[in-house]
Amino acid sequence: MTAASPAKAAAGLPKPAAGAPKPAHTPEDLGRLNLKQLLLARSEWFADEIMKGVERSDFAFLTPAQSRLLAVMAGKPTHMAELARRLAISRQAVHKTVGELARRGLLALHDDPERGNSKLVVYTDRGRQLNRAGARMIEQTEARIAARIGRARLETLRALLASDWG
């Protein structure tokens, strides 16, 4: 094991253990990020908070990639190609992830009545239970944000993010 750097040792900071999660951005770090980096950092924080809730639930087997796919579906039937496009991953990766979730009884593939040769990814009854549990986790995370920054500032943030950016 190598010794901590002199700067870290001087600051009294322990060396992170191998495989330890990376530390969260400090307020100082966040202040130096451009808008895209800041949005990505906060999105990552939000996803991590959701995964903490998932780990304490009946759905602890979910991976972050599976959680992202389910979030993109937003409770609605979705085509595989649309999932791949919105997640910016290959169709093969979507097929693999959907297959894993189908084996867990959360999703199913149905023929698309409007496109005969296409399949829709749909929630099963158990998948809808997961979707409701996920909505509660999001509400709890938003409540923690409101407690930290204030309800009015959270609503302002929501309004700014929802406004027309062109």
Domains of the chain, by residue range, sit at: 43-158
Q: Which of 22-31, 83-92, 108-117 has the highest mean pLDDT?
A: 83-92
Task: Please report how the helices 125-149 and 151-162 are oriented relative to each other, as an axis angle in degrees rounded to 10.
Answer: 120
φ/ψ of residue 95, rounded to 5? -55, -45
CATH 1.10.10.10 fits 43-158, yes or no: yes
**What separation, in Å, do the N-terminal and C-terminal C-alpha atoms of the chain show?**
52
pLDDT band at 19 (very low <50, low <70, confident <90, very high): low
Report, as an integer, the average pLDDT of 100-127. 93
Q: Burial, 134: exposed, middle or buried (Cβ in 10 Å; 0-12, 13-18, 19+)?
A: buried
Opening angle at CA 72, ends 67 and 78, nearest 5: 115
pLDDT at 17: 47
Q: Provide the pLDDT for residue 55.
A: 94
